[in-house]
Amino acid sequence: MWKVEEDHNDPQYADLVKSFKGKSDKRRREELGGALLLERLEIRDKIVYLENGKPTLPGVHISISHSDDIVGLAVGEKPVGLDIQDDTPKLFNIKHKFCNDEELRMWSDDLDRLTLIWAGKESVFKIYGEDLAFAEEMHVHFPVQPPKWYECTSLKHKRTYILDWLTFEGKRVVWTRS
């Protein structure tokens, strides 16, 4: 995780940001954060994006997420998924797009759970990098007393994933791995 406080116009980052030309300041700042995370992990390869937008690096699996000035990177030997989300009331307006009937019945008025449902399904989606209908093809299950993990089942892939989460700089960070 990285809180991006660096200025992408600073000359010391010229080599890192030379490929960011033509992008918005917000996007350049996010990409600088990702580049700094790679540098900190001593990964020298450049991220290549597949046609579907999934980021790749030679020899490892990665997932990247951005939210405002926070950038996260997950790296693994097997496919990984990472998502960073705000607890935003906007989720109440779109919950029917990502929650199934059971999730709506149980968590419709719970912003914390809606955020975890959305971020959990996003992290599973990022493992595959392909279309998944969030409401119909993915189901989230919380333990009775929620610890720092829960589950998301991909019906399409007939697989259940353990989702870990934490709060970083006021945002929900959710990740999973194959």
Domain boundaries, the chain: 2-77, 83-177
- Determine the pLDDT at residue 16: 66
- Domain 83-177 falls in which CATH fold? Ribosomal Protein L22; Chain A (3.90.470)
Token reading at 3: 């809180």
**What's the predicted TM-score (pTM) here?**
0.87
Nearest to 111 by CA among 123, 99, 126, 124: 99
Torsions phi, psi for 38 (to 5 deg): -60, -45
Mutual orientation of helices 111-128 and 90-98 as an angle, nearest 10°? 50
Q: List, in sequence order, every residue forming a beta bridge with 55; answer none if it has no partner.
A: 49
Per-position pLDDT tens, the chain of length 178? 888 887 777 767 666 666 666 677 777 777 778 888 888 888 888 888 888 888 889 999 999 999 988 999 999 999 999 999 999 999 999 999 999 999 999 999 999 999 999 999 999 999 988 888 999 999 999 987 767 889 999 999 999 999 999 999 999 999 998 7
Nearest to 71 by CA among 108, 111, 104, 27: 27
Q: Is 63 left (phi over 0), alpha (psi -120 to 50) or beta?
A: beta
- Determine the pLDDT at residue 20: 61
